[in-house]
Structure 1
Amino acid sequence: MRALVLLVCLSVCCLAQRPQPCASPPLLTGSLSVMTQSEKLSAFAKFSYDALRKIIHFREFGSYDNKTFHTDALLLFRQGVLYKINYRNHTCCKKRLNTKFHPIAVPRNASLLGQAVLGSSSGPGQGLLVNSWTGELQMKKGGTAKYLSTTTEFGCIPVSTLFHTDRSGWVVTSFFNNVLGIPNPQELIPPSFCVDAQLEEEDGEDPVTFFSLF
């Protein structure tokens, strides 16, 4: 009987310690790199992420279809507006933002693939404990997408994401230099020269970015 009670207690403890799907901090600043399987897109971006007010600001540069590009964009999801900003010329392009805000999070129906240590567990500060999750998402234009997402065990900070659709193939995103909070809140406010910007109609499809994949 004592052995049975001990076994039940151990089982409960193991279940309690099992990693659960999580959401990243609502205020996050950092950098990321993106690369597609076809090598059509290769990009680097710095981002500011505010899940409370549903705002993302990112500065991105890279190569798409053998053409280099640079984008400085402020996405205001509640207002349904995207600003493309040129600080050098003090110009601003205002467009409709028809995409819904998707918080950085592990979907609730994700399956735990495993837990591992990045680096080494031999000494303090030599490794990072992470969880890897896998699953499928229903795309807004139909079809499904496969993903493999890795986050830190403590804090649910994004580390990397592998995302696959029939349109884009595999897309690999790596996060680094993440900082909790928004050191410069002004980055989430349209600059003064954007106040009089007129809403423009879409004139074609923009290069694929990390944020346009979802």
Structure 2
Amino acid sequence: MLTILLLCLLGFAAAQQPRPCTTPPQWEGRIYDSNEKQKASLRGRISYDSVYHRSRIVDDLQIGTEEIANDILSLYDARIEFDYNFKTKNCTRREITEPWRDFGILPDATSYGEAYIGSSSLPDTGLLITIWGGNFTLSNNETIPYIGTWTYRGCLPVSRTTYSEKYGNEVLSFYDLTVGISDPNVFIPRSECLTEKEYVMRHTLFGTTTKKN
């Protein structure tokens, strides 16, 4: 009898363990990123695609007193990043050396429970979020601890905070997210970033069909 009871209790405890929800693989919205140690802040719009490991961020970056406006297209599977500077009208093409990092909840993340942003005392006065944390490793083998929050319904990212001894605390927040990709050409580089031959073949080279959810 005791054995049966223990097995029932163990089964109940396992059933109570929170499981990561699944973030939609494609979405768009606004972001705000800040790092006090680097004296840097960024405001921008993001198109995000975890199916084909790519993102596009059109941002206004402030580092100290310097302001920079960029259009950055990152194609992780092709290991290419295109960085267009709105001020200089120049586009820089560089190799991506860091691995793709998903904005979804990582499989090995630790749950820190749930909480309301705002209030739970009245209807429509708060947003229920789930809180998860863990570590990820950079290409230089530096381990970065993080803690992130996602909406309980829909599993959309709300915020992510990371800490590095070298770079300091970085706080990334997400706003006005919509599921899916509104423009199927958003992941095609600007004409300024391509050669004439590449531009003619841009849809063949970069126009992978997007999946909407």
Q: What SS does the aligned partner of 1:186 have?
A: coil
What residue is the counterpart of 1:25 in the other structure? 24
Normalising by structure 1, what TM-score? 0.78
**Unmatched runs of 5 consecutive residues or more in structure 2:** 198-213
* Alpha-carbon distance change, 41 to 23 in structure 1, aligned in 2, over 3 angstroms: farther
> 1:193 Cα deviation (Å)?
4.3
Q: Relative to 1, partners in 2 of residues 1:87 and 1:170: Cα closer, same or farther, differing over 3 Å?
A: closer
2:122 corresponds to which letter in structure 1? Answer: G
Moved more, 184-193 or 58-67: 184-193
- Letter aligned with residue 42 of structure 1: S
Q: 1:134 maps to which residue?
A: 133
1:150 corresponds to 2:149: yes
Alignment pair present for 1:179 and 2:159: no
Query: What is the CA distance between 1:116 and its match in structure 2?
Result: 0.7
Q: C-alpha separation between the residues in 2 aligned to 1:6 and 1:127? A: 40
Gaps of 5+ in 1: 199-214
Q: Are the counterparts in 1 of residues 98 and 138 from structure 2 also a CA contact under 8 Å?
A: no
Hey, what's the Cα distance between the residues in 1 that align with 2:136 and 2:88? 40
Work out the CA distance in 2 between the residues paired with 1:136 and 1:188: 29
In structure 1, what is the Cα distance between the partners aligned to 2:193 and 2:142?
A: 37
Q: Which region of structure 1 is more displaced relative to structure 2, 186-195 or 74-83? A: 186-195
Is the Cα contact below 8 Å between 1:19 and 1:131 reproduced in 2?
A: no
Using the TM superposition, name which of 131-140 and 53-62 deviates more. Answer: 131-140
Distance 2:40 2:86 in 1: 25
Tell me how far 1:103 sits from its aligned partner.
1.6
> Residues of 2 paired with 1:38 and 1:90: CA distance?
29
- The number of residue pairs the alignment matches comes to 197
Alignment-derived partner of residue 82 in structure 2:
83
Preserved CA contact (<8 Å) 1:82 1:95: yes
